[in-house]
Chain A
Amino acid sequence: MDFIAKIAFKNLFRSKLRTLVSIAAIAFGVMIIVFARGIVLGMIETIYDDHIQFNSGHIKIVTEEYQKRERLLTLNYPVDGFTGEGVGGMMAELEKIEGVEMVIPRLKFGAMVSTEDELVALSGWGVNPGLELAFTDLENDLVEGRMVRPGEREVVMGTALLEKINRQVGDKVTIVYNTAFGSLKGSTFTIVGRIESTLKLLNETVVYLPLDQAQALLEMEEQATELLLVTTNLKTVPRVLPAVRGLLAKAGAGDRYLVLSYRETSDLIPLMDLSRIIFNYIYLLIVLLSCIVVFNTMVMIIRERTKEIGMMTALGMEGKDILQLFAIEGAFMGVAGSLAGAVLGHLVTAYLGKVGFDYGQALSSMDAEILFDTMIYPVASAGNTIFAFVFGVIVVTLACLIPARRAARLEPTMAMRE
């Protein structure tokens, strides 16, 4: 066995170029897998983060009617406490639930800004600035000025939106909106900060203002359109959900409100789970393509060494020994190629994971409501890299078994042929 392995190893150097090409092909395939998995992983993480931060929290509380009309940003079905007594008391009760770390109110409404030649639609978000900064990555995206302050008539908005309405930080802007009772009004705000985000929603659509201001202007004192609960971590969500539902039911609000986990509110998360499965087949395909090169090398090697194989059989080597000889030679190539590919792929992924890469142009026509970040930070994980390595070695070795079996069946009389 060790002697067979020794011969197999030495045989790698018989045609160095061919061995190198095979190893390179495997390395390429494995590298692509590490990298592609890194991207998918990064994409999934970003999608989860964006969805949780800017849509659902870990758990979202809205009225049933609001949920049905979510995209319309209706103000007619707000969260206004257990029985209409105001949202403040309800928030305080929710905060007491074990595992709940934050209760974040948001009051979202449709609004417009008129410029010289068009009306620009936007989405006003009345928020508690401190909670938003604590929960989301907004601080990183706030590239100019500062966040709004409670009690002040101030707004913060995205770079693209500012460009569209032709304003800068420090300027004033008049925003037109409908109150909860349907009357059209306009109010003037000072722009105190600018957001630059790769999330289209933040860059082009959202205008942050203090919750108290939004409540006053919209005539919705003590109301929000949604409450987001932040739990200790994602794993505690299934434990906290029933507690929240229980609290609402006890307070007589069980029928009014929906309590939704982050998984229930995303269109993309189930899609990502599906694409993960699809991608696994694509990985297999990529490695199989690399295997064609190795397979071809093996077929050529065996054709060239027909007499030698005959000699070995004549000397008393059995078919299984010959099979082993070529399987080991293939496995060596599989290990070398997979190792090189895994290391290289890991390095590239880790590097891009640091600097990130933006494929925004490709998706520029995407709906801003879909929380799909155009900046991806691929995730280089040891598990992923080891998976790709092992996967490469196994698939390559299996691919070599097919030509190796043919070698094992060669007639010993081949040795005598001249």
Chain B
Amino acid sequence: MALLELKGVKKIYDQGKIEVPALRGIDLRVGQGEFTTIFGPSGSGKTTLLNLVGCLDKPTAGTIIFDGRKLDDLDKKELAMIRRHSIGFIFQSYNLIPVLTAYENVEFALRLVNKYNPRETRDRVLDILSAVGLEGLAHRRPNELSGGQKQRVAIARALVKEPKLVLADEPSANLDSKTSEEVLAVMAKMNKELGTTFIFSTHDPLVMAYARRLIEIRDGLIAKDQRREQDAVLN
């Protein structure tokens, strides 16, 4: 069974008089452990799609099934609980809390899950920080970290609760090409080691090269859906 299934998903933004159709009928299945990119030009609907999959928003039409649950009938609180326990987010502009250290930013996600004792919490946070290559930087605040390091903190924050799915909206858009590749390499490594499903959007070919599955989206429709046995960089 697929981890994620979309059937005829449409999203129309109601902008007063004009209606903006952002997604016009998406059918998609994503399996456990996939490392998928959604690419396409700006305005094609990538963010809208991730919002729907991430339980941040509801579709205008169609059905989304995540982890065996139909999202249509869930209320606000139930959606929040799915996000809290099962979905990790990585944002383009990192979105770290500036007054908290790297450690505390990661701890934040785990505190919300609220199922580990202080010792387990500490071990998990430190383990994931070193897994993403931030050993020794746990007590730095975001303004004492480089862009690439900040995005690693965000990856650690998304992964620390061991979610079923990690969504990343243009995670490398604010980074130079070398750092972009480093960040993608970390994501690919975590996908391999933990088996976590990743879906990330981008319009950067360098970044797309890391994906095992490439979904092209144009004007709110899937234009191409390509799988490959090996990715183009790490294989």
- Give residues in A with beta carbon < 8 Å to B: 3, 7, 10-11, 13-14, 307-308, 310-311, 313-319, 411-413, 415-416, 418
| A314:B97 contact, CB within 8 angstroms | no
Residues B56 and A415 in contact, CB atoms below 8 Å apart: yes
Within 8 Å by CB of B57, from A315, A318, A413, lies A413
The answer to whether A314 and B56 have CB atoms under 8 Å apart is yes
Alpha-carbon separation in the docked complex, A404 to B81 (Å): 22
Residues of chain B from 94 to 119 with CB closer than 8 A to chain A in the complex:
95, 97-100, 107-109, 111-113
Interface-central residue, A13, A412, A416, by most chain B CB under 10 Å: A416
Contact at A416–B81, with CB atoms within 8 Å? no
Q: With contacts A7-B97, A13-B99, A14-B98 known, is A413 near B111, CB below 8 A?
A: no
B89 touches A314 (CB 8 A): yes
| Interface status of B147 (Cβ within 8 A of chain A) | no
A318, B75: Cα distance in complex, Å? 12
Chain B residues whose CB sits within 8 angstroms of the CB of A319 once the complex forms:
76
A7 lies within 8 A of B56 (CB) = no
User: Once the chains are docked, how many angstroms separate the CA of A3 from the CA of B77?
Assistant: 20
Given contacts A311-B91, A416-B56, contact A316 B97 (CB under 8 A): no
B56:A315 contact, CB within 8 angstroms: no
20 pairs, A vs B, C-beta closer than 8 Å: A7-B97, A7-B99, A7-B108, A10-B99, A10-B100, A11-B99, A14-B99, A307-B93, A308-B95, A315-B109, A315-B112, A315-B157, A316-B85, A413-B51, A415-B89, A415-B95, A416-B47, A416-B51, A416-B56, A418-B93
Contacts of B95 in A (CB 8 A): 307-308, 310-311, 415
Set of chain A residues within 8 Å of B47, measured between Cβ atoms: 416
The list of the 4 closest CB pairs from A to B, nearest first, reads A316-B84, A10-B99, A311-B95, A412-B56
Q: Which residue of chain B lies nearest to A318 when distances are taken between CB atoms in the complex?
A: B80
Q: A315-B84, A316-B80 are in contact. List 14 more A-B contacts (CB 8 A).
A: A7-B108, A13-B99, A307-B95, A310-B95, A311-B89, A314-B54, A314-B56, A315-B112, A316-B85, A317-B80, A317-B84, A317-B112, A318-B80, A416-B91
**Chain B residues, CB < 8 A from A307:** 93, 95
Q: Kindly list chain A residues whose C-beta atoms are within 8 Å of the C-beta of B80.
A: 313, 316-318
- CB neighbours of A314 from chain B (8 A): 54, 56, 83, 89
Cβ–Cβ < 8 Å partners of B98 in chain A: 14
Question: In the complex, which residue of chain A has the Cβ closest to the Cβ of B107?
Answer: A3
**B51 A316 Cβ-Cβ under 8 A:** no
Name B's A-contacting residues (CB within 8 A): 47, 50-51, 54, 56-57, 76-77, 80-81, 83-85, 89, 91-93, 95, 97-100, 107-109, 111-113, 157, 169-170, 173
CB distance from A86 to the nearest CB of B (A): 86
In the complex, are the beta carbons of B56 and A413 less than 8 A apart?
yes
Closest chain A CB from B190 CB (angstroms): 18
Q: How far is the CA of A314 from the CA of B83 in the complex (A)?
A: 7
Residues of B within 8 A of A311 (CB): 89, 91, 95
Cβ contact within 8 Å between A416 and B169: yes
Interface centre among B99, B169, B170 (most CB of A within 10 A): B99
Residues of the A chain whose Cβ atoms lie less than 8 Å from the Cβ of B107 = 3
Q: Assuming the A-B contacts A314-B56, A318-B77, A318-B80, are A415 and B91 also in contact, with contact meaning beta carbons closer than 8 angstroms in the complex?
A: yes
Expressed in whole angstroms, the Cα–Cα distance for A267 and B170 within the complex equals 78
Docked complex Cα distance between A411 and B109 (Å): 19
Residue of B nearest to A2 (CB): B111
Inter-chain CA distance A137–B54, complex, in Å, is 80
Given contacts A413-B57, A416-B50, is CB(A316)–CB(B99) below 8 Å?
A: no
**Measured between alpha carbons, how far is A302 from B169 in the docked complex, in Å?**
24
**Smallest beta-carbon distance B8→chain A, Å:** 21
Residue of B nearest to A313 (CB): B80
In the assembled complex, the Cα of A14 lies from the Cα of B143 at a distance in Å of: 12
Residue pair B169, A315 in contact (C-beta under 8 Å):
no
In the complex, what's the smallest C-beta–C-beta distance from A28 to chain B, in angstroms? 27
CB proximity of A411 to chain B, nearest CB, Å:
8
Residues of B within 8 A of A318 (CB): 77, 80
Q: Closest CB-CB distance, B119 to chain A, in whole Å? A: 16
| CA–CA, A206 and B95, complex, Å | 79
CA distance A353 to B47 in the complex (A): 66
Q: Which residues of the other chain, A, contact B112 by a CB distance below 8 angstroms?
A: 315-317
Give the distance in Å from the alpha carbon of A125 to the alpha carbon of B108 in the complex.
80
The CA of A314 and the CA of B108, in the complex, are separated in Å by: 12
| Chain A residues with CB under 8 A of B54 | 314
CA distance A13 to B76 in the complex (A): 32
Residues of B within 8 A of A3 (CB): 107-108, 111
How near does chain B come to A82, taking the closest CB pair, in angstroms? 83
Residues of B with C-beta under 8 A to A415: 56, 89, 91, 95
Q: Which residues of A contact B92 (CB under 8 A)?
A: 418
CA gap between A416 and B111 in the complex, in Å: 22
C-alpha gap A359/B89 in the complex (Å): 67
Quick check: B83 and A308 within 8 Å, CB to CB? no
Min CB distance B37 to A, Å, is 17
Nearest chain A residue, comparing its CB with the CB of B52: A413
B108-A315 in contact (CB<8A)? yes
Which residue on chain A has the smallest CB distance to residue B99? A10
